Structure 1
Amino acid sequence: MTVRVRRAPGRVLVMRLPDWDGEDAAAFEPVLEALDLLTPYVEVLEIGSAAVPLRAGAGNEAAFCERLIDTVAGLVGQDCLTGVADGLFAAVLAARDGRIVPPGGDAAFLAGRDITDLRFTGLVEPETCETLRHLGIDTLGTFRDLPPQAVAERFGAPVRRAQLLAAGRFTRPLVPRPAAPELTVAETPETPYETVEHAVFAARPLAERLLRVLDERNLTCTRVTVTARTGSGLERRRTWQVDPAITAADLSRRVRWQLEGWLAAGPLVHGGDAAANAVTSLELAPGGLVGLVQAGQGLWGAKTAAAVKAEAALRHAQSLLGPESVRIAAPADGRDLDERYASAAWEVEPVPAPPSGPWPGGLPDPLPQLTGTGEDVEVLDAAGAPVTVAARGDLSATPALVSLGGRRIRITAWAGPWPVAERWWSAEARRYARLQVELADGSAALLVREDGRWRAVGWYD
């Protein structure tokens, strides 16, 4: 008989320096060095904050936190807050109050937190938190207990993922699996890098190689491990949490921060000559891999020569007009046409996540090819009387004609109407009905009845 032993799940400790200067990356390195002496793995969440894994039952967590706090205070002379929990989200919140959440207690701990703490998921805007509060949902517990379908329907897929986090679910392991060898990129120069400037000079093409390797496999990553090796054989490694939409420029900047941090604390090898301290190898390994479609990445997909030229032109436009001037579209959740796509500043803002599935009450595919027209039309019956839509969604008569631009065009086929009621709980409440019509001139339109009038909001090819 085979006996399976179930290991206790790991715990997560998050430390943060509430008064830290968020731009001082090099000065933060001694703190990370101290953490390296206490734990085999450190993940930088942002400058001034890091997370480390704790093995459940490995020892006194409170004593470990006290030791860490004393060590950090001795190094940088600043207050340090720590938080421990089963999951990363709960640990991040616990670190804001210096708390240790008991094992298995994430859900109970999160339940009493204020609804504005959803901001720390990175998935929820402050305006959404205020909307939830106006609806009487003022804690993560009340938010967690909402019907999942209603949350997804009214607020979208990202807020639904935040609801899972608020319930103590949907967590990722802190310690990543080793990256596949074919995804790791490295540079071994003929002449070792003796200064940060030399190493950083190679960081940009190395970052571009990594993103290109991932892009060729339709992947992106949420963590990158930077590894540097010296002539003496010393190896230094650090993992950074990154945005899936990170650019080569941003990634190379992270590498520079790390190299500056390592060298600011002194030579990579204490004593020895310049050759022993020179960097002989620089390596980038991705972690937390996700698909490009899942992450909402990509401009036109595979980067052909034409795409590379196009991106160069877009960067030139950004340099002339500003980084916000070039925007790209991405599929988004929503019912109406103007909600089905969102935009983001290219290579500046994260691209919105793609829709997680059919939106309840959403317009089915295929969508109109021409949208945003919005011209007023009249829908008439065979006698020329206006056709209206009742509150329950019934037409007052069979639609026979569309009056548009002084012309009356016969309707050869129609489908609908589909009544939609949106945001009934807020001041932005909407009620409207959609009607699809095929006209005798060969065109097809999407019509909307709202506030007592018909509009053509889209045309099909």
Structure 2
Amino acid sequence: MNARVRRAPSRVLVMRLVDWDGEDAAAFEPVLAALDLLTPYVEVLEPGCAAVPLRAGAGDEGLFCERLIDTVSGLVDQDCLTGVADGLFAAVLAARGGRIVPPGGDAAFLAACDIGDLQATGLVGAETCETLRHLGIDTIGKFRELPPQPVAERFGAPVRRAQLLAAGRFSRPLVPRPAVPELAVTETPETPYATVEHAVFAARPLAERLLRVLDERNLACTRVTVTARTGSGLERRRTWQIDPAISAADLARRVRWQLEGWLAAGPLVHGGDEDAGAVTSLELAPGGLVGLVAAGRGLWGEKTAAAVRAEAALRHTQSLLGPEAVRIAGSSDGRDLDERYASAAWEVEPAPPPPSGPWPGGLPDPLPQLTGTGQDVEVLDAAGAVVAVSARGDLSATPALVALGGRRIRIAAWAGPWPVAERWWSADARRYARLQVELADGSFALLAREDGRWRAVGWYD
């Protein structure tokens, strides 16, 4: 009988430079080059912070961390902290205190962490953490014990994913899966880029192409692998962790950092042949692919690439037609539908203030989705006579039919009327009554009677 060999599960080591200058991303390349000698795969979480996979049981993790710290200190003369755990999230938090979480101990380690540490997932903002704290949820352990459905309903899909991370039930391997070939974008210039500065010019359009390809497929990515190839056949490759909602400008900036880092670490080709050292191909390949909804983009306040382009289009419209031409709608205070809706010039005026509370005599929610129609109608009783409304708000007969556009439609149900008397002391005095009806054809309407005639002032979806 052949025995099946069970491979030890992988562990994650996160290395973080304590006093790293985040603006000097190129200077981080010597550290990454040193890590390349220790492991076949290095993932850059951010400048100054990287993660590498470890095989559990392969050796003394503490000794490996000490050697890594000494190596990094010799390269950049900075203090370094390391953290080891089963999963990336726990390893990131462990690196803050230089801890090694024992195998199988992620859940216990995370349980005692402060609720604010959820921000390290990139899925939870500071405001959400403060809301949870006010609710008495001050540790990650208490957070993961919350019922999952209310968490998703109250805070949205990204926070639910963070809860799965906290429970150790949602993770991703450090070693990336191969990207779908058609999603990778490549720039192969007719004249090879003789300098890194020349290659940088291609970074922005290449980043835009990648985000456009992903957006057309309703995808986002959490990692991007930058590959540069030279005429000598040398290939350099590095993977960066990115925000799923990254803009083309920010992605191009990451590519520039990487190219500058490679240049700072040494020439892209050995020898003196300048043409052989020119960059003949620059490639961006996405990894960690997720759907837009799974990434929480678009539905929970994070900007998608499409949203960024839409904002650019709106600003272009403003430049052509004036700043007042693009307006945003909002709800406001008032009784009538015209008063319940307000608008403001986009990015020029403050947004319409939200309602301060129930308005006396105001129409209850939900409001009609289609307003401003002002169609003339007639509300009739069973005998075909017009139904009137008295000064005290009483109907003259039971509503039975609505005459609209040459048709008579039976009223299946109705509510009201709600009489309104406004500014009775002034020349602008106004008196009207509203009636909600459900028609036999399945439509729902808000009707108003004023000055002896009925109008359809709104339709419900």
Q: State the TM-score, normalized to the length of structure 2.
A: 0.70
Match of 1:408 among 414, 418, 433: 433
Q: Cα 1:191–1:156, aligned 2, differ >3 Å: closer, same or farther?
A: closer
Structure with greater Cα Rg: 2
Deviation at 1:149, TM superposition (A): 2.5
**Which residue matches 2:38?**
38
Query: C-alpha distance in 2, partners of 1:297/1:30?
Result: 38
Q: Deviations over 1:50-72 (max 9, x none)?
A: 11111222222112111111111
**Which residue matches 1:358?**
none
Query: C-alpha distance in 1, partners of 2:48/2:327?
Result: 31
**Which residue matches 2:446?**
439
Q: Cα 1:135–1:292, aligned 2, differ >3 Å: closer, same or farther?
A: closer
Q: Deviations over 1:101-149 (max 9, x none)?
A: 1111110110111122112122222233233233332211122212222
In the alignment, is the contact (CA less than 8 A) between 1:381 and 1:400 conserved in 2? no
Aligned pairs for 1:61-460 within 5 A: 61-295=61-295, 296=297, 313-314=313-314, 316=316, 368-369=368-369, 399-404=415-420, 406-413=431-438, 438-440=445-447, 443=456, 460=460
Query: C-alpha distance in 2, partners of 1:169/1:186?
Result: 36
Task: List alignment gaps of at least 5 residues for structure 2.
Answer: 321-325, 330-345, 348-365, 372-391, 397-413, 421-429, 448-453
Aligned pairs for 1:12-27 within 5 A: 12-27=12-27
Query: C-alpha distance in 2, partners of 1:59/1:275?
Result: 44
In the alignment, is the contact (CA less than 8 A) between 1:381 and 1:399 conserved in 2? no
Query: C-alpha distance in 1, partners of 2:90/2:264?
Result: 33
Query: C-alpha distance in 1, partners of 2:170/2:327?
Result: 31
- The letter of the residue matching 1:13 is L
Aligned to 2:168, the other structure's residue is in SS state coil
In the alignment, is the contact (CA less than 8 A) between 1:402 and 1:411 conserved in 2? no
Give the fraction of aligned pairs with identical amino acids, expressed as a percent: 79
Q: Cα 1:288–1:100, aligned 2, differ >3 Å: closer, same or farther?
A: same
- The letter of the residue matching 1:402 is W
Q: Cα 1:244–1:442, aligned 2, differ >3 Å: closer, same or farther?
A: farther
Query: C-alpha distance in 1, partners of 2:144/2:250?
Result: 35
Q: Cα 1:297–1:2, aligned 2, differ >3 Å: closer, same or farther?
A: farther
Q: Which moved more, 1:16-25 or 1:265-274?
A: 265-274
Aligned to 1:256, the other structure's residue is in SS state helix
- The letter of the residue matching 1:8 is A
**Which residue matches 1:11?**
11
Q: Cα 1:227–1:302, aligned 2, differ >3 Å: closer, same or farther?
A: closer
In the alignment, is the contact (CA less than 8 A) between 2:415 and 2:435 conserved in 1? no
Q: Deviations over 1:320-365 (max 9, x none)?
A: 9xxxxx9999xxxxxxxxxxxxxxx99xxxxxxxxxxxxxxxxxxx
In the alignment, is the contact (CA less than 8 A) between 2:445 and 2:460 conserved in 1? no
Q: Deviations over 1:41-86 (max 9, x none)?
A: 1111111111111122222211211111111100100000011111
Q: Cα 1:68–1:302, aligned 2, differ >3 Å: closer, same or farther?
A: closer
- The letter of the residue matching 2:219 is L
Deviation at 1:12, TM superposition (A): 1.0
Query: C-alpha distance in 2, partners of 1:12/1:212?
Result: 32
- The letter of the residue matching 2:435 is R
- The letter of the residue matching 1:401 is P
Deviation at 1:315, TM superposition (A): 5.5
Query: C-alpha distance in 1, partners of 2:140/2:305?
Result: 41
Aligned to 2:281, the other structure's residue is in SS state strand
In the alignment, is the contact (CA less than 8 A) between 1:207 and 1:284 conserved in 2? yes
Aligned to 1:272, the other structure's residue is in SS state coil
Deviation at 1:186, TM superposition (A): 1.5
Aligned to 1:58, the other structure's residue is in SS state coil
Q: Cα 1:279–1:165, aligned 2, differ >3 Å: closer, same or farther?
A: same
Aligned to 2:233, the other structure's residue is in SS state coil
Aligned to 1:264, the other structure's residue is in SS state helix
Aligned to 1:93, the other structure's residue is in SS state helix
Deviation at 1:159, TM superposition (A): 2.3
Task: List alignment gaps of at least 5 residues for structure 1.
Answer: 321-325, 330-344, 347-365, 372-378, 384-397, 415-435, 446-458
- The letter of the residue matching 2:143 is F
What is the RMSD computed on CA atoms of the aligned residues? 3.7
Q: Cα 1:263–1:368, aligned 2, differ >3 Å: closer, same or farther?
A: farther
In the alignment, is the contact (CA less than 8 A) between 2:368 and 2:446 conserved in 1? no
Query: C-alpha distance in 1, partners of 2:255/2:144?
Result: 38
Aligned to 2:208, the other structure's residue is in SS state helix
In the alignment, is the contact (CA less than 8 A) between 2:247 and 2:308 conserved in 1? no
Aligned to 1:29, the other structure's residue is in SS state helix
Query: C-alpha distance in 2, partners of 1:168/1:309?
Result: 36
In the alignment, is the contact (CA less than 8 A) between 1:188 and 1:280 conserved in 2? yes
Aligned to 1:13, the other structure's residue is in SS state strand
Aligned length, in residue pairs = 364
Q: State the TM-score, normalized to the length of structure 1.
A: 0.70
- The letter of the residue matching 1:439 is L
Aligned to 1:194, the other structure's residue is in SS state coil
**Which residue matches 1:57?**
57
Query: C-alpha distance in 2, partners of 1:327/1:20?
Result: 43
Q: Deviations over 1:18-39 (max 9, x none)?
A: 2101111111111111111111
Aligned to 1:24, the other structure's residue is in SS state coil
- The letter of the residue matching 1:411 is Q
Q: Which moved more, 1:215-224 or 1:250-259?
A: 215-224
- The letter of the residue matching 1:97 is G
